[in-house]
Structure 1
Amino acid sequence: MTKVLILSDSHGLTDELNAIKERHQVKSMIHCGDSELDMDAAELEGFYKVAGNCDFDVRYPDEQTLEIGGLIFYVTHGHLHNVKMDLMGLSYRAKELNADVIC
Structure 2
Amino acid sequence: MKLLIVSDTHGRDANLEAAVLREQPFDMLFHCGDVEGREFYIEALAECPCTIIAGNNDFFSDLPKEDEITVFKHRILVTHGHFYGVSMDLSRLIDEARSRNCDCVFFGHTHKPVIDEEDGIMVLNPGSLTFPRQNGHKPSYAVVEADEDGGLSAEIRYL
1:37: how far off? 2.1
**Computing the radius of gyration over CA atoms, which structure comes out larger, 1 or 2?**
2
Q: Alpha-carbon deviation of 1:96?
A: 1.3
Q: Distance in 2 between matches of 1:66 and 1:5?
A: 14
Percent identity over the alignment? 36
User: Take 1:54 and 1:96, find their aligned partners in 2: how far apart are those partners?
Assistant: 27
Matched residues in 2 for 1:57 and 1:30: separation? 20
Question: Given that residues 11 and 38 in structure 2 are in contact (C-alpha distance below 8 angstroms), is that contact kept between their aligned partners in structure 1?
Answer: no
Higher helix share: 1
2:65 to 62, 66, 87: 62
How many residue pairs get aligned? The number is 101
Distance in 1 of aligned mates of 2:38 and 2:5: 19
* Structure 1 gap segments, 5+ residues each: none
Counterparts of 1:71 and 1:100 in 2: how far apart (Å)? 6
The one-letter code matched in structure 1 to 2:80 is H
2:9 equivalent to 1:6? no
Q: CA deviation at 1:24?
A: 0.8
Cα RMSD (Å): 1.5
Instruction: Go from structure 1 to structure 2 and tell me whether the alpha carbon gap of 1:69 and 1:61 turns closer, same or farther (over 3 Å shift).
Output: same
Q: Which runs of 5+ in 2 are unaligned?
A: 107-159
User: What is the TM-score of this pair, normalised by structure 1?
Assistant: 0.86
- Whether 1:51 aligns to 2:51 is no
Is contact 1:39-1:59 (8 Å) kept? no
Deviation >3 Å, runs of 4+: none
- CA drift of 1:57 comes to 4.0
TM-score by length of 2: 0.58
Q: Which structure is higher in strand share?
A: 2
